[in-house]
Each structure stands twice: as structure tokens, then as C-alpha cells.
Structure 1
Amino acid sequence: MKPLMTTSLALALVLLTPPPVRANELALSVSPDDSVVQWGPCPAFFPDGCELAVIHGDPAKPNADILFKIPGGYAFPAHWHTSAERMVLVSGEMSLTYQGQQPATLKTGMYAYGPAKAVHHGQCVSSEPCILVIAFEAPVDAFEADESP
């Protein structure tokens, strides 16, 4: 009976121990309109008008989150990323096309997933700006589609 109690107690301790927390990491909640959001330009191969803002993490390291903002009617060029992308459209309406697939129309609140190294392009089809939250698994990068993935 004693070994069973010891095993049960050890199992309970393992199951009830919280996962490790990164030192100095705080919870975060942010809106694209917040004054703490610092917008900057998109990569040089994107037309003027495109903006990016880092909202969590270091874009040179894995697991950074960014905001991608483009004006209404703006089309962005074909490109690819080393990382997969997990995206949620927070404003506007966007057409997004991955090479070899039918275009998807994202409406505010919709989720989209983009595989690593998948060539894609799109357009903000609304008159209002499109703002997309993008979570990257690997460091943030973007390459013109004529560069091999």
C-alpha cells in the first residue's frame, strides 16, 4: 500500500506543478491604435504604405508577433517567409492567395495559417485599412517570390 501512495503522491506533484515561466515575461494586451505600438516600414520590396509593428518578442528570435497594416485597396507582392505564419485579421477585408491554391477572403476576426516557405500575395479589398496580427514560429523575415524558398 505504501508504494502505491508514494507513486500517487509523486504523480500528483508532477501533474500539479505549473510549467516553467520565462523570467521577466509579462502578460500583454494591446490594440493597433495604442500609443505603445511603434509602426515602421515593411521590407523594401513592398510598395510604400505598408507598415509593421512588433507587438511581442524579438523579431530576430523565434516566436515574435507582429502587426501588418496596409491601406484600403493596397496589393502586396508575392513573397515567402522561413517561418509558418498564424494570422488573425483585426480590421478590413483581405484577399490572400497561396501559390497553387484558390484565393481566400479574410474578414475581420478570421484566422488564417500560412505554411513555412509558401509563396503568397494579397490585397486589402476594403476601403478601410487592413490590419493583420501575425505570429511567427521562426525569426521574422520576408523574401521576394523570385528568391528560392
Structure 2
Amino acid sequence: MLKSTAAMLLLLISSSPLLAEDMPAPVNAGAIKWGPAPSFLPAGAKIAVIAGDPSKQGMFVLRLDMPKNYAIAAHNHPTSEYVTVISGDFHIGMGDKLDKAKGIHLTRGGFGVAPARMNHYAWTTSRTIVQVHGEGPFAITYVNKADDPSNKPSQ
């Protein structure tokens, strides 16, 4: 039985459309290359793309490093967003307006899902790193257009 299970697993892996040469190289946390977050997120965060390309069709994995007291106003995405807390204190809530009384506090190892088109918001109470994965292309729509940082003049 064990041999047939191993053979089936090998067959599935070898027939997978994701071939070894398409897979991203393994990386330890210290080797991750961080850069400033895009303008559609509030200033102060850093981002690292771990796998895939969030701007294109297909799966992606990225990490977001946010300072203490960082907040992302209510928004939604056209596809589901899956978030795992790597470190820190991440709070997420569902609704049309950021309401710290209604969020859920996630700590290291915590996991949350924001289904496609569901309005949600987030904030931190300590420096926090989350890993986000989903289906690209990634897009964000703020509930209140005035909350979109990319609409604000740069300082």
C-alpha cells in the first residue's frame, strides 16, 4: 500500500504543470529582499514577493512588514486573500469601515481569509509581518475612495 501511494504521489508530481524549473528557489527569512510597499498601501510598510507575480494571472505569495499602529482602511479584492501571521499582532475585521472594537486579534501562526469582494480592514498593535497568498492579478478597491493612499498627494 505504501509503495502504491508513493508511486501515485510521484506520478502526480511528475505530471504537474508546475515543473521544477518554474518553482521559486527556497529562501530563508534573512535572505528575503524587501522594498517599499506600493502606493495603494499606506506609507511605512515594506513588501517582499516570495513567489509568483501579484500583477499577473496566477498564484502569488508575498510578505508585508508593517510598523506598529499601521492601519489599512476598509477595502476588498476581486479574489480571495489568505493571510498568515509570521510575527507580531495583526487585527482583521469585516465591514465597510475600520472598527477596532469588532476586529479579531491574530498572533504568530494565526490565519485569516478575506473572501473575494468582501469588505475588510486591518491594523497592527506591534511591528507585524504577514504572508499573503492568493490568485493574481492582485487588486485593491477601497470602500471610501478618500482612504486610498494612491489618491493622496505625495509629501
TM-score by length of 2: 0.72
Matched, 1:125 2:120: no
Aligned equivalent of 1:8:
none
User: Matched residue pairs, number?
Assistant: 130
Structure 2: distance between partners of 1:99 and 1:31: 35
Structure 1 runs (4+) greater than 4 angstroms displaced? none
1:79-104, Cα deviation, whole Å (9 max, x unpaired): 22111011110010111111179411
Aligned equivalent of 1:140:
138
Instruction: Give 5+ residue unaligned stretches, structure 2.
Output: 146-155
Structure 1: distance between partners of 2:121 and 2:78: 15
Shift of 1:28: 4.6
**8 Å Cα contact 1:89-1:108 kept in structure 2:** yes
Match of 1:30 among 15, 27, 30: 27
Q: Which aligned pairs between 1:93-108 and structure 2 lie closer than 5 A?
A: 93-99=89-95, 102-108=102-108
1:52-103, Cα deviation, whole Å (9 max, x unpaired): 2110012112211110111012122222211101111001011111117941
Structure 1: distance between partners of 2:24 and 2:48: 18
Matched, 1:55 2:53: no
Per the alignment, do residues 134 and 63 of structure 1 end up closer, same or farther by CA in structure 2, a change over 3 Å counting? same
Shift of 1:123: 1.1
Task: Work out which of the two has the higher radius of gyration on C-alpha atoms and give 1 or 2.
Answer: 1
Aligned-residue CA RMSD (Å) = 2.4
Per the alignment, do residues 72 and 112 of structure 1 end up closer, same or farther by CA in structure 2, a change over 3 Å counting? same
Secondary structure at 1:43 match in 2: coil
Give percent identity, aligned residues only. Answer: 25
Aligned equivalent of 2:109:
109
Worse overlay, 18-27 or 63-72: 18-27
TM-score by length of 1: 0.74
Instruction: Give 5+ residue unaligned stretches, structure 1.
Output: 1-11
